[in-house]
Amino acid sequence: MPSLTPKTIDGHTYYYARYCQRVGGKPKIVRQVYLGKLEDLITATQAARQLPQALETEVAAFADVTALFDIAQRLEVVPLLDSLLPPQRKQGLSIGQYLLLAAINRVVAPTSKLQFADWYRQTTLTNLLPADLAWLSSQNFWNHMNRVTAEHIAAFEKQMSQRLIERLHLDLRALVYDGTNFFTYINTRTPAELPQRGHNKQKRGDLRQVSLGLLVSTDFHVPLLHWVYAGNVADSVEFRSVTEELTTHYRELTKTCQHITLIFDKGNNSEDSFETLANSPFHFVGSLVPSQHKDLLAVPRRRFRALDNPRLGGVEVFRTQKKVFGRMHTVVVSFNPHLFEGQLQGLTLNLNKARRKLRGLQGKLRRWRKEKRKGQKPTREGVQNQIRSICSVQHLKSLLKSELHAARRGLELSFSTNQAALQRLCRVQLGKTLLFTDNADWSDEEIVLAYRSQYHIEEAFKQMKDPHFLRWSPLHHWTDQKIRVHAFYCVLALLLSSVLQREVWQQGEKLSLPRLLEELGHIRETLVIYPRQRGQHQARSARCLTRMTPLQQRLFSLLNLQRYAPGKR
């Protein structure tokens, strides 16, 4: 224990704290700390009792970026990238570090590379991955990214897929493949081959688009492989090359699973695709276009049987064998009452909308007949084109019957709903899905559940089009190489976030990915800066985390983020 010792020098009394220990059996002063005059001690005591007023605070993103960074550390993402990519310059970040920062940014706060440094400055990544802000300029970023090729990306995905399978023990019995597209604002005259006009799933057919194919696990849509292809290439055409490439990866995948089934929807169907798939080691579960198999739709419901699995409540199936794409396959026709209700509701909305438009067209033609109007008179061909456009939505062409007659001073339109066709559509087609597979030994329940696992990739694409988290768009790049790199770190972002959600679910917190990222985003780090006191060379500061809700505290604990908390680093 220290003792307080006064010492008088030149008539002034000063106080010291002295630490005394026995050395060689004799007491000896081993440490002495100067405390100052009595007045100094009193002032210090009073100041300690008063909470100093903070000068300013700085708030930085903590839990969301830290959790993603921690996953990348455990998967050794950066070392793997740097081992495959060209060596970086001695000064600055490595290419792997740039890609990791870009992926984390895409997950939590997607921004352009012009705002990249500003985002980084407001996160705790400044401590986890220190970098000079000048290194994060858009020019520096793309100077490094220009060295990344499609071969580098493919090599990384091959090794990372194997690492994910080994370390996370992903379930590979069923893998889901699908493609989507993202519209861009790339000028028509820009000489890039990937952005092309095609059928856009976001209804932006006026813009050039880029397509993305993904192979994900049914175990939390963890991406294993991705393909970037031109926006005017049909999914079924691209799927053939996908199956060829997957065959080369099959040997690596089968080290942990001998029976792998690919799951895909009817948009990928083609003779060539199934010829390639039939010669591959993969099994499959797919779906058929209903209008191409009317004999299956015509099977009466009395021949269907109800499934026993509680996850398939109300679902009925009919099982048979049929020759499809040149080979005999097991076919399961399923009827889902929930799907029926949803399709009927959508059909009713489309019918009502089309009727309103047709009534509006009727009124327009009527006014032309009765009144003298300026402008070009409606022609039969022009009106028929409008009718075709109104009835272009699925099923409406067969349900709405219209007639266009010549009348005095113009044209007259009449239309009606074919009730018999509507009733037949409800009875024969709505609510049904035609599934087929080469897994002849699978039960009806296994086939239906396998096909339903497509929601994993649908959820991934939905998330990549979300305006808040994990966003792909907008695409601010104008060359094919930059577009491929952009796609790569977007898929890397999906990988990190999917693994994060998987870990949280495995520990009992059943949260959607947006909710998880939102909750983690609320856990922030605060730097409190106090005014500089007399005798201090610099202002004092203290770091702490924001107050957490019970859910945030559980997430903080189960992700073991206390390792990165202020005072632990």
CA–CA gap between residue 190 and residue 133 (Å, rounded): 31
Q: Is 344 exposed, middle or buried (0-12, 13-18, 19+ CB in 10 A)?
A: middle
Contact in structure between 204 and 183 (CB atoms under 8 Å): yes
pLDDT of amino acid 343: 95
Tokens linked to 254: 């089968």
The yes-or-no verdict on residue 286 having pLDDT over 70 is yes
Work out the pLDDT band at 294, boundaries 50, 70, 90. very high
pLDDT of amino acid 528: 82
Q: Give the residue carrying structure tokens 């903070």.
A: 54
Name 144's Cβ contacts closer than 8 Å, sequence gap at least 6. 88, 93, 95, 98
The yes-or-no verdict on residue 375 having pLDDT over 70 is no
pLDDT tens-digit map of 471-493: 888 777 889 999 999 999 999 99
CA–CA gap between residue 29 and residue 27 (Å, rounded): 7
pLDDT tens-digit map of 519-549: 999 999 998 877 776 656 666 778 889 999 9
pLDDT of amino acid 527: 84
- In this prediction, residues 385-389 reach a mean pLDDT of 93
pLDDT tens-digit map of 192-249: 899 999 888 888 888 899 999 999 998 888 999 999 999 888 888 888 888 877 777 7
Name 185's Cβ contacts closer than 8 Å, sequence gap at least 6. 207, 474, 475
pLDDT of amino acid 569: 57
Work out the pLDDT band at 416, boundaries 50, 70, 90. very high
The yes-or-no verdict on residue 278 having pLDDT over 60 is yes
Tokens linked to 482: 């930059």
Contact in structure between 526 and 122 (CB atoms under 8 Å): no
pLDDT of amino acid 365: 87
pLDDT tens-digit map of 84-136: 998 866 668 999 999 999 999 999 999 988 999 999 999 999 999 999 999 99
The yes-or-no verdict on residue 401 having pLDDT over 80 is yes
- In this prediction, residues 369-377 reach a mean pLDDT of 71
CA distances from 548 to 29, 40, 68, 185, 250 (A): 47, 39, 19, 41, 46
CA distances from 485 to 151, 183, 195 (A): 11, 17, 14
The yes-or-no verdict on residue 428 having pLDDT over 70 is yes
The yes-or-no verdict on residue 64 having pLDDT over 80 is yes
The yes-or-no verdict on residue 58 having pLDDT over 80 is yes
Please give the backbone phi and psi of residue 229, each rounded to the nearest 5 degrees, phi first.
Answer: -140, 170
pLDDT of amino acid 529: 77
pTM: 0.82
Four-point Cα dihedral 468, 150, 77, 241, nearest 10: 80
Q: Is 481 exposed, middle or buried (0-12, 13-18, 19+ CB in 10 A)?
A: middle
CA–CA gap between residue 333 and residue 421 (Å, rounded): 21
> Is 150-290+442-505 a domain of CATH 1.10.357.10?
no
First CA to last CA across the chain, in angstroms? 31
pLDDT-above-70 percentage for the chain: 93
DSSP state of 280: S
Question: Would you list the DSSP string of 81-94?
Answer: HHHHSPPPPSSS--
Label the pairing between strands 56-61 and 26-36: unpaired
pLDDT of amino acid 250: 67
pLDDT tens-digit map of 447-469: 999 999 988 888 888 888 887 88
pLDDT of amino acid 1: 66
Contact in structure between 227 and 240 (CB atoms under 8 Å): no
3-state class percentages of the chain: helix first, strand second, coil last, to nearest 5: 45, 20, 35
CA–CA gap between residue 18 and residue 1 (Å, rounded): 9
Using alpha carbons only, what angle is made at residue 462 by residues 446 and 191, rounded to the nearest 5 degrees? 120
Phi-psi label, residue 563: left if phi above 0, alpha if psi -120 to 50, beta otherwise: alpha
